[in-house]
Each structure stands twice: as structure tokens, then as C-alpha cells.
Amino acid sequence: MITPLPGVGRGDIRSGTRSLWRYAASFPVPVANPVSMGEGCTPLVERPWRGGRAHFKLEWFAPTGSFKDRGASVMVSTLRQQGVSRLLEDSSGNSGAAVAAYAAAGGIKAKILVPAATQPGKIVQMRAYGAEVELIPGARQDTADEAERQAERIFYASHNWQPFFLQGTKTLAYELWEDLGFRAPDNVLIPTGAGSNILGCDIGFNELRRSGEIEQLPRLFAVQPANCAPLCASFASGAEDYTPVETRPTIAEGTAIVKPVRTRDVLAAIRRSGGAAVQVSEEEIVEAVYDLARSGLYVEPTSASAAAALDGLIRGSVIRPGETTVVVLTGSGLKATELIRRLIGVLPANA
């Protein structure tokens, strides 16, 4: 992790820069020549949602179609400046696509390891950027284990381990603060696997509090599929670190991380904010995919899980009417076309 930084204020924003690099003053080291394709500055739209209202942060407007571009831009830029010319990443899809794209844009060779069951469209996307892609049999954890073995001979630019990736994801906090007229939301719901957006928001909002721009942190809600919810199990048990949990396959493949490497940090961030870890069923995720699409928001199942969780939090009076609640929609439905086609096929006829 990067040593806590003092944060910046609204006067430090490079208002003429339409990308996350408008917050470059908040980064720990200056980057002379960023690898940037206009990532960040994604829309925040207030929309009705099942009888209520919420703000939806449309992170799929990023160049590769997911929020991972924030971390990839800052990480690849910093590593290139440090002389890295070839890198390795392991991914269930979106981070691999992001790292492959930014490596290509920065003139760096990339090798991406992905589970063999990864959505074909995501694999095509990585290969289109020129990355070497290796399919690893087994679960997501098997891919991570193989990456650690290969890291002995190629620089491991892991979005889960590299601290500069989190310096990119923290810009989500700065951006929400700017989107909302330089104030923090009350609640942020985030689809969570390894937790890079939870950690990024924790870093960013804490910097804003240290700089005096906000007085209170928003509550962070980490949303996981019930079929693979190690953070929820750890949070519910009161543990400070990883609690073993039985897992099953889930349609929210982007959050299917059996053992998040930064579990201790993620749990601490959630508790520091006063938030919680929330799980949703496969059926709830499918319904949220459909309802979001029928409202005009086409997202992959991983993203839809955050919207699915909002209902229960409202019913339980954890989130109350009148609060400013942001649901982070992390990836485009175009990432999972074949999967969504199958999901639509099992919807009730009168849906």
C-alpha cells in the first residue's frame, strides 16, 4: 500500500483535463507522460429504481468498457516510467482487457492469464489488443496461483497486488465528490471481488477528509454473489481477515474471487466507513440485469449485483429515503452478450 497521502482540494483539479488525470496532484509520484485514453469522467445519472431513486455511476463508459481502466492507466503509466517493458496480469476478464489495452497504448508487451471459462468476448478483446493470452483450467484461484509461479520470470503487474492500481481506482471517490457538487454521497454500493473499488474509495474519500473537503466518509457497501461471498462471511463473523467459505459457480464472474488477497484491508475499509458486506442470490442478480436493461442501463451480471443489493438495504432501513446513494455499475453488458442471451431465455414469459 502507498503511505497515506494528505489529499488535494478543488483548487488542485486540472479542470481542462477530461480524464482521471485531472486529479494527478493527488498521486504519490508525478508521471511525466501518462498512458491515457480519456478514462474517468464517467456519467453519474439519477434514475428511478424499484419505487425509489438512486444515482448510478456508469463506469462502462471507460475505453475498454469497465472501471478497471482507472487502475490500469495509473499503474501502467507509473510502471512504464520505472522502465517496465513486459508485464504479466491474471484476470477473470475486465482487468485483463484493461491492462492489455493500456500496455498496447504504452508500447509494453503484456501476457494475460485467464480462467478457461472466461467469457469469450473478453478473451477476444484482450487478444485484439495484441496481448498474449493463456487459458488456465480450473477456478479463478488456479489462475492467480499460476500467475504467482510465472511472476518468477516476468514482472507481475497484478491489479490485486500493485498499489498504483489503487491510486487509479481512488479517483472514483474524487470524481463522485466532484459530480455531486463537491460533497460526498451518503452510501456507495460496489460489486466486490478482490475489492479494488472498495479500497480505492476508502483511499480517496479519506484523502478528501484529510484535506478538509469533506467531513464524513460515505458508507461503503461491498456486494458479493451469495455463491461466492468470502468477504461477507468474514465481515459477518467479525473476523479481521479471510474466513474460509464454501463457494459455487456464479454468473457474477467478475466477483468470483474465493480468497481476496487484500481481505484484511477491505474489511477494515468497510468497517471504517460504517458500511457492510452484502450478498445477493443468483436469482436477484438475474432480475437486476433485466430491470436495469429495461430502464436503459445494459450491464453485465457482476455490475447488476450492486443494484440488486439496494432493495434489501432499503427494506431493512439501512439506507433511508433522502440519502444520496450511488450504485457503481462497473462493466458493460456487451462484455457478457452470450451469458445475458441465456439469462433472457430463462426469464418468465410475462416479464
| Predicted pLDDT of residue 347 | 52
C-alpha grid cell, residue 325: 446513494
Residue 2: inside a domain: no
Residues 207 and 253 in one domain: yes
What span, in angstroms and rounded, lies between the C-alpha atoms of 282 and 129? 32
Where does 180-261 have alpha helices with state H? 196-210, 230-237
The answer to whether the CB of 177 falls within 8 A of the CB of 213 is: yes
Residues 128 and 203 in one domain: no
Residues 124 and 269 in one domain: no
The residue range of the domain holding 82 is 68-161
Number of domains the chain is built from: 2
Residues 33 and 89 in one domain: no
Measure the CA dihedral 305/308/313/315, to 10°.
Answer: -170
Residues 6 or more apart in contact with residue 87 via CB below 8 angstroms = 76, 79, 99, 103, 108, 109, 110, 111, 154, 155, 156, 157
C-alpha grid cell, residue 230: 468470502
- Cβ–Cβ contacts within 10 Å for residue 291, how many? 16
The answer to whether the CB of 100 falls within 8 A of the CB of 131 is: yes
Residues 35 and 91 in one domain: no
Helix, strand, or coil here: 264?
helix
Residues 92 and 44 in one domain: no
Residues 90 and 56 in one domain: no
- Tens of pLDDT along the chain (351 residues) come to 999 999 999 999 999 999 999 999 999 999 999 999 999 999 999 999 998 899 999 999 999 999 999 999 999 999 999 999 999 999 878 899 999 999 999 999 999 999 998 888 889 999 999 999 999 999 888 999 999 999 999 999 999 999 999 999 999 999 999 999 999 999 999 999 999 999 999 999 999 999 999 999 999 999 999 999 999 999 999 999 999 999 999 999 889 888 999 999 999 999 999 999 999 999 999 999 999 999 999 999 999 999 999 999 999 999 998 999 999 999 999 888 888 888 876 555 445
Residue 114: inside a domain: yes
CATH number for the domain spanning 109: value is: 3.40.50.1100
Residues 173 and 271 in one domain: yes
Residues 233 and 300 in one domain: yes
Point out which residues pair with 247 in neighbouring strands.
Answer: none
Residue 4: inside a domain: no
What span, in angstroms and rounded, lies between the C-alpha atoms of 343 and 146? 31
pTM as predicted: 0.94
C-alpha grid cell, residue 249: 459457480
Residues 6 or more apart in contact with residue 168 via CB below 8 angstroms = 20, 70, 71, 72, 73, 74, 75, 200
Q: By CB neighbour count within 10 A (0-12 exposed, 13-18 middle, 19+ buried), where does 120 fall?
A: exposed
